[in-house]
Amino acid sequence: MKKVQMLYKTLYTFCLIGLLAACTPQATATTAPATNTRAEASDTSEPATSDSTTEAPTEAPITLSLLGAANENDAMMIEALTNAYMELHPNVTFEIEVAAAGGTEVDNLVKTRLATGEMNDIFYYNSGSLLQALHPVESLVDFSREPFVDNIAESFLPAVSQDGGIFGVPVGFASAGGVLYNKKVYEQLELSVPKTWDEFAANNNKLKEAGIPPVLQTYGDSWTAQLFVLADNYNVTQAYPDFAEDYTNNEAKYAAIPEAMAGFTHLQEGFTNDWWQKDYATTTFEQGLEMLADGQVAQYPMLTQVMPTVATNWPDKVNDIGFFAQPGTDATKNGATLWMPLAFYVPQTSSHIDEAKDFLAFVASTDGTDAISAVVTPAGPYLIKGAKLPDTVLPFVNDLNGYIDSGNAYPALEFLSPIKGPNLEQFCVAVGSGQMTAEEAAEAYDKDVEKQAQQLGLPGW
């Protein structure tokens, strides 16, 4: 797969600023049952305003049902978009249904409603591999012929595409996976941001000598153990440009390709060299963030999207946290792995497809991104062409923007391939705690993905 140049803008943190004009029609909210439930850098071009929309819908009163999100920041973005749209279209009202739970429960809710024809007119859901499992060609409205698709950054489109169709519009902003680090600790020891893994290891040795745990691991929340593997996709792609395609076609395996297995090898190296802090096996994600903010540890392999939590809980220390991409083997090819935002989708069973398309055209415009920025400070680059970001940027945003502006960024594997095994986090914990070798984990993960690939009906499996 050829490298896509990522022409994103800057990365920001969420701030809770309030909601749009109270004088606009208010979207009503209900709660989805807890049973069977799981609810950018923009390309440089002319701003994509809401003029580039679908054919204007009827002016008769319309109520659009929207399955939203329980997450507060996501809910604020959705409400900002619906309120702004209703201000422009007073005949439209939104009924926003909030999924009562997360994780697999939202997955099950979405799959059940699509299968029974009971899905809302619009729903908010993951892009990438989880979308592929919905069989969008059979269940969702294809936007590939809609003019507003031209407003969406091309780098996002593979994450919402299947068999030539385009099925989603991005909501919000992208983030990156790599290493968050405490800048005060780095300054104290006169360390430089590493561009190769050898430089990273050398920094870790100096940190150990100074009595500071070099790398934070938080296996009390096992999902956090995956970052050394997942955030390495930029480096994997530099060494093996067609890895995502070959992996999807069952022509490439983690255990057979050293560059692909490197993430597991890094976990083994960290455990062997005693890079982790004491009690890494039980430390939770939020406890770890506090340790990083306080300078009790130096570095945390993590997604930048967690920075809003730092800004909210430790606002006086958020400026002390920086970001660098997970280092590879070549300093001249140093770059970051990106995570794409969730998106809005329209089921084929909706009785208001034209009206839903018009709303999505608004979302895919600078008017839409401006509506979001009015209530939430962006925590990443928008994926709408011409989108402008506010000046209230935290320092880590500029760190990420350096990779984006230079074109040294590439999507995570889960946005390029529909395959992601369900047990990756368990294998990563096992390697990071010395229970498995990197080779054993890579082989186990290769087997783990087989069932999912077969369920998806992918050729070659």
In this structure, what token pair is assigned to residue 338?
Answer: 């990106």
Residue 18 neighbours by CB distance under 10 Å: 10
Q: Which two tokens stand for residue 301?
A: 């392999």
Q: Do domains 28-174+341-389 and 175-339 have the same CATH topology?
A: yes
DSSP string, 372-408: HHTTB--SS-BSBTT----S---HHHHHHHHHHHTT-
Q: What angle do CA 8, 342, 103 make, to 5 degrees?
A: 140
C-alpha distances in angstroms, 276 versus 287, 292, 299? 14, 13, 10
Question: Crossing angle for the helix pair 366-373 and 72-88, nearest 10 degrees?
Answer: 130
Neighbouring C-alpha atoms within 13 Å toward the C-beta of 436: 21
Which residue in 215, 194, 156 sits closest to 341, CA to CA?
Answer: 156
Calculate ∠ Cα 71-77-78, nearest 5°.
85
> CA-to-CA distance for 273 and 214, rounded, in angstroms?
10
Give the tokens for residue 13: 């943190």
Q: 28-174+341-389 has which fold?
A: D-Maltodextrin-Binding Protein; domain 2 (3.40.190)
- Distance CA(300)–CA(179), nearest Å, equals 5
Q: What 8-state DSSP symbol labels residue 326?
A: P
SS3 string of 106-133? HHHHHHHHHHHCCCCCEEEECCCHHHHC
Determine which helix (DSSP H) or strand (DSSP E) holds 290, and give its type and residue range: helix 285-294
CB-based contacts of 257, cutoff 8 Å, min separation 6:
240, 243
Question: Structure tokens of 247?
Answer: 């992996």
Q: Which residue has the tokens 């939203």?
A: 68
3-state secondary structure at position 369: helix
- Dihedral in degrees, nearest 10, Cα atoms 307, 391, 15, 379: -40
Q: By C-alpha distance, which of 256, 213, 209, 208 is closest to 236? A: 256
The ranges assigned to domains in the chain are: 28-174+341-389, 175-339
Residue 60 in tokens: 């008769």
d(CA 108, CA 98): 15
Q: What is the pLDDT of residue 16?
A: 30
CB 359 within 8 A of CB 348: no
- Residue 117 — left, alpha, or beta (φ > 0 → left; ψ -120 to 50 → alpha)? left
Per-residue pLDDT, 17: 30
Which CATH number among 3.40.50.2300, 3.40.250.10, 3.40.190.10, 1.10.3720.10 corresponds to the domain 175-339? 3.40.190.10
Cβ pair 225, 302 in contact under 8 A: no
Low-confidence ranges of the chain (pLDDT < 50): 1-26, 28, 33-47, 50, 52-53
Specify the amino acid at residue 172: G
Whole-number pLDDT of residue 44:
36
- Residue among 172, 125, 134 at smallest CA distance from 153: 172
State the Cα–Cα distance between residues 104 and 100, nearest whole angstrom.
12
Please tell me the predicted confidence (pLDDT) of residue 300: 98
284 contact partners, CB below 8 Å, separation of at least 6: 218, 220, 221
Residue 25: predicted pLDDT: 38
φ/ψ bin of 340: left (φ > 0), alpha (ψ from -120 to 50), beta (otherwise):
beta
